[in-house]
Amino acid sequence: MHKEDYRNKCVPADEAVTVIRSGDWVEFAWAASMPGLLDEALAKRKDELKDVNLRGGVLLKPLACLDSDPAGEHFTWNSWHLGGYERRLAQKGLAYYTPIKYSEVPRYIRENLQTDVVAIQVAPMDEHGFFSFGVTVSHYAAAIEKARNVIVEVNEDMPKVHGGYDHTVHISKVDYVVEGGHRGLPQLPSAAVCEMDQKIASFVLPEIKDGACIQLGIGGMPNALGQMIAASELKDLGIHTEMLVDGFVDMVEAGKVTGMRKQLDRGRIVFAFAAGTQKLYDFMKDNPSLAGYPVDYTNHPFIASQIDQLISINSALEIDLTGQVCSESAGSNMISGAGGQLDFVEAAYNSKGGKSFICLPSTYKDKAGKVHSRIKGLMTLGSAITDTRPTVQYVVTEYGKVNLKGLSTWQRAEALISIAHPDFRDELIVEAQKLKIWRKKS
């Protein structure tokens, strides 16, 4: 029965995308889950369509439909979280960021947003008629609930991934199936680890104890920490994260991860989406230790905080002397997005024995080569506040770590200046004095 249903719904990509109409909102691609044949077919329809809003994020490679429309007259990209390609489009006015708290995205879709078509990549159908969402569970089930039409592009190389719930779609809910053959998955190489990343990670590692449950962001510093954990004496660690990356595989292969002390999903590695190298995708194939969940489960602070010793490690672009954190923009220029950082900042602090870390190098260089402090008296004009000052716990640079919880403004200024680059500390004291947050001492 399922096979017959599959055959009846199996069509070429060009036919499948005819259900997309002018004015539609289409949930389309996320991270390593990108429907290549549907993208190419939609690009061919460019001149027939107007005001089609495509939605997704963290794109790991260009989309043909967007590249076919350099003036943005036919397609508009609306990003939940900007990757490098999307950032370049946004700078040209061809892509737009959607501010989110990632744990809430399924609810946005169910209660607030128009979703007409879902066109996504999936793993091959199993004998029970289910397609695994593979490397992206995230918010796809919510989008399918709302959509007028559902198109799945089957990628033979998409790993079938075990899950908790909402990690599959049944053939009965699908309108069209497009067979994509073996198309591989776009890879996200592990970020290079520099000496500064290792130094910052070295301040975090002693705070992690046996049985802790780890959430890592993306970038050199989390990658460095993953390598250090893999080489450490730690044991019985758990994983509960929004993004599954190669660093977690290193930890598992080193025997550091059992998940047996977790209060939720005991023994299982919980994630909402994954992106990395082929090593990661091979690790995910039919692996019963994994549990892919929608992001309103993985990231919800109430849920994640029920896990003891939840350790959240994320990066930032800048922080002001009162503790406000920007992790998504350089002034008004969007770099990435809020993602689930605030979700895990709150969850880790509310976890029994949990800790939240915001990690950043103390300085950066502008295009002219001038060095600037990432710790500032005031945020750069236009910077988005990702984490409000009451929510931030540990802040770490290569010069040390401080815990801001419960500190007054003058204590926060003093603590943050103590981990700023020495070349900027006197300047920051002057800034703190101007802001009336520097306490004169005898």
Distant-in-sequence, close-in-space partners of 230: CB < 8 Å, separation ≥ 6: 247, 250, 251, 253, 254, 256
Are 116 and 140 found together in one domain? Answer: yes
Region 318-333 average pLDDT: 96
pLDDT for residue 266 is more than 70 = yes
Instruction: Provide the domain limits for residue 88.
Output: 2-179
Higher pLDDT, 52 or 223: 52
- pLDDT tier, 194 (very low <50, low <70, confident <90, very high otherwise): confident
What proportion of the chain, given as a percentage, has pLDDT over 90?
93
Asked whether residue 441 is domain-assigned, the answer is: no
* CA–CA distance, 69 with 336 (Å, rounded to integer): 23
Looking at the chain, how many residues does it have? 442
Instruction: Please count the CA atoms within 13 angstroms of the CA of 347 that sit on its side-chain side.
Output: 30
Are 144 and 25 found together in one domain? Answer: yes
Q: What is the pLDDT of residues 356-386, one digit of tens each?
A: 999 999 999 999 999 999 999 999 999 999 9
> In the 8-state DSSP scheme, what is residue 100?
-
Asked whether residue 184 is domain-assigned, the answer is: no
Q: CA 296, 300, 306, 312: dihedral to nearest 10 degrees?
A: 120
Asked whether residue 48 is domain-assigned, the answer is: yes
Q: Which of 130, 155, 179 is the last residue of a domain?
A: 179
Query: In angstroms, what is the C-alpha Rg of the chain?
Result: 23
What backbone phi and psi angles, to 5 degrees, belong to 236?
Answer: 60, 35
* CA–CA distance, 299 with 13 (Å, rounded to integer): 34
Are 244 and 291 found together in one domain? Answer: yes
Are 101 and 204 found together in one domain? Answer: no
Are 381 and 267 found together in one domain? Answer: yes
Instruction: Give me the pLDDT at residue 224, please.
Output: 82
Which residues does the annotation mark as catalytic?
242
Q: What is the pLDDT of residues 89-110, one digit of tens each?
A: 999 999 999 999 999 999 999 9
Are 108 and 81 found together in one domain? Answer: yes
Are 387 and 297 found together in one domain? Answer: yes
Q: Which of 154, 179, 204 is the last residue of a domain?
A: 179
Region 274-281 average pLDDT: 96
Asked whether residue 89 is domain-assigned, the answer is: yes
Are 98 and 219 found together in one domain? Answer: no
Are 234 and 378 found together in one domain? Answer: yes
Asked whether residue 55 is domain-assigned, the answer is: yes
Are 409 and 344 found together in one domain? Answer: yes
User: Domain tally for the chain?
Assistant: 2
For residue 231, count other CB atoms closer than 10 A to its CB: 13
The residue ranges of DSSP E strands in 31-74, in sequence order, are 52-57
- pLDDT tier, 440 (very low <50, low <70, confident <90, very high otherwise): confident
